[in-house]
Structure 1
Amino acid sequence: MPTTATLFRQLPLVMLLCASLLPPSDVFSTDAFATEPPAFESKLFTKGTLVYSDDFDGPLNRQRWGAPTQDKQIKDSKLIVSAKFQSKEEAMKVLKRDHHLGLEPVVHLNQIPEAFVCHLRYQFDAEKLTPGRPSFQIGHHMIILSYLEGGGHRIKLPEGPTFSEPESGMKLGEWIDLVIEYKKGTLTIGVNGHSKTYQHDAVTTDNPKDKFGPRFSLKGGPDCRIVFDSVRLWKCEP
């Protein structure tokens, strides 16, 4: 019968033989080793510092999203945001007011740097557009990314021009691979590989009335959920 010392000497060989029976993807899985940070790529910046990365496979990051609530939960590695209330009567009874009733999903991604690159995979899960909704605000009530009827997206600068980009084919209920690159005066928006840069004095995320900003604000409208799959955020030098 082999001694304990002999078994320990043979252990590395046994482990190697077991590993040889596994598919390469399992042997070299990133779960088994330190995960490399996502590569930084940018049209506007040469260098960026990764300040937030999330695949929503753990607790909700309160610093970025606020505290988890009944309408804001992580499930199956997705952050899902829904309306707080289903009817005006129910909301008014609970909130004791007739405004900001929580009848649509609203969520904020906080602490956005003054110059940044952000990769975000998300979708507005809804069947139809409604006036002004859904809305993705880059800076609270500042730069607005919205849908075009029939597909594509629109960029509205605060007190500035509007740009329509039908070529992106952005549609409700479909995943959006969004890339935002921003420094004051210059904005690059990439939607599902369709990218364009805008230079204008009205390109700004600064809202003096927003004491929590700069931040992203997403509002879904009625009968909608906002679903996030992943986010990467780099702080850059302007």
Structure 2
Amino acid sequence: HSYQLKQFNSKTNMKVFILALLVAVAVADDDKIIGGQIVSPGSVPYIVNLKRFGSLMCGGSILSSNYAMSAAHCNTAAASLTVTAGDFSLSANDGTEQASGVTRTIPHPQYNTNTLEHDIMLLELKSTISTSSSVKYANLPAANVDPAVGTNCRVSGWGNTAIIGSNYPDKLYQVQVPVISNADCNQAYGGDIYDGMMCLGLLGTGGKDSCQGDSGGPVECNGAIHGVVSWGIGCAYPDYPGVYTRVSHYISFINQYV
């Protein structure tokens, strides 16, 4: 897998790690599914994976026949990317996959690599992705309509499943994690949580989270995609929830294209 954990110093001088692409091959620990389970094939019909030169890089959601959504920090040359919907096993032909090249990537114009604000990206696809029994376009929330604190949301991906070390699954995993308030999340992260971010986790307990390889993937709450896997300190740590892009804040950006 071609990833690297990218770090920056926060206001409290803590090292904060995100997933970012590295040209050299490296594997480190962040944003994977921790504490979850394998899904039933076709049960996450809106999920896609992003492969760079054939290797898994990030997750995403299919929004329409020609657009997918992921994280801006997953951005790389469009010509190197393949977006696949209807996938379950990465190594096997499930008979349900639909793959497309990428015409262009559209990261949010205000994406900030230092603060990680506006960590959202659209991908315009070369080929049409059609709905089927295994592929459904994602439902999006209304602008500024968010799930209540405590709502259990489903996070899905093919990322690392080991808190320490790495264990990349061949099949799609999911985990249910509750929404926590941005105020509580800001206490954990020293003020680095912005309005366009949302947090999910088990504060004081840990054990359930997204991690490396899940970046850009979907957070489904109440039947709509409310989050995009973005960043965090480690994975599933008791004191550091996962941080996600709050999709409801970016509906106007999405609607410019989709």
Larger helix percent: 1
TM-score normalised by structure 1 residue count: 0.29
TM-score normalised by structure 2 residue count: 0.28
Larger radius of gyration: 1
